[in-house]
Amino acid sequence: MKLYNHEAAPNPRRARIFIAEKGLEIETVNVDLMKGAQFKDDFRAVNPWCTVPALELDDGTTISEVQGIWRYLEAAHPEPPLLGVDAKDAGIVAMWENRVMLDGLQAVAEGFRNFVKGFKGHALPGPDGYEQIPELVERGRLRTENFFKMLDRRLGESEYIAGDSYTAADITAQVTVDFAGWIKMELPDELANAKRWHDTVNSRPSAKA
Ligand SMILES: N[C@@H](CCC(=O)N[C@@H](CS)C(=O)NCC(=O)O)C(=O)O
């Protein structure tokens, strides 16, 4: 298996942390997003959406989308479970993970991609070009602030985001909080529940993945 990766980018990190939590070692292939390698024909043949991560299986099948990669790896390597331990838990993990994605990761991305000059004409990932919308920078920052508060409220009632154990919802939230540093935003000190959780998840060995 091979993971098409870009070390600095948040979505491949969601896949790498998951892989590390499963105790797996998977060869990585760097796709240099800074040089536009995602748009070259050889990578389009791997993933026509021109994004990383993408997981190439030994039979040549490629699975892109973090959710797709997670689902495959969880089914192939069930321990430790990261997508829920039974039907109810799986629903709860998916619910929280998606909320974190929509309200957190996408909010930071909105603030980042509409601001950074390098994303001019390419404000959204993928093969089609979209212009930046400067007004979205402020909105992205406001949404990120609200996301931090939501995280803190949730972590005041539960040890981890989807319940008593660490799951994929924590992975997306952990990556999001660290990605927010790119727009110079961090968890404020007064959000003590979220800070406690962030210290805990970021001290797991997988956080270095
Ligand atoms: N929905 C995709 C998102 C992947 C994504 O946006 N990846 C970014 C890196 S974090 C990317 O490949 N960007 C390429 C670009 O901006 O051209 C997934 O879940 O894998």
pLDDT, one tens digit per residue, over 145-174 is 999 999 999 999 999 999 999 999 999 999
- Which CATH number goes with the domain that contains 104? 1.20.1050.10
Fill in the DSSP letter of residue 1.
-
The confidence band for 33, taking pLDDT boundaries of 50, 70 and 90, is very high
Domain co-membership, 54 together with 101: no
Cβ(10) – ligand 1 distance below 6 Å: yes
pLDDT of amino acid 145: 98
Q: Which of 76, 109, 139 is the last residue of a domain?
A: 76
Looking at residue 67, its pLDDT comes to 98
Report the percentage of the chain scoring pLDDT > 70. 100
Strands 2-5 and 54-56: antiparallel
100 and 6 in a single domain? The answer is no
Same structural domain, 124 and 190: yes
State if residue 9 touches ligand 1 by the CB under 6 angstroms criterion.
Answer: yes
> Residue 5 is inside which H or E element, if any?
strand 2-5
pTM for the model stands at: 0.98
Predicted local confidence at residue 206, as pLDDT: 98
Residue that finishes a domain, picked among 34, 55, 76: 76
Ligand 1 pocket: which of 51, 105, 172 to mutate (most atoms within 8 A of CB)? 51
Domain of residue 16 covers: 2-76
Beta bridge partners of 2: 27, 56
DSSP letter for 30, please.
E
CA of 189 to the centre of ligand 1 (A): 30
Tally of domains within the chain: 2
The string of pLDDT tens digits covering residues 104-143 is: 999 999 999 999 999 999 999 999 999 999 999 999 999 9
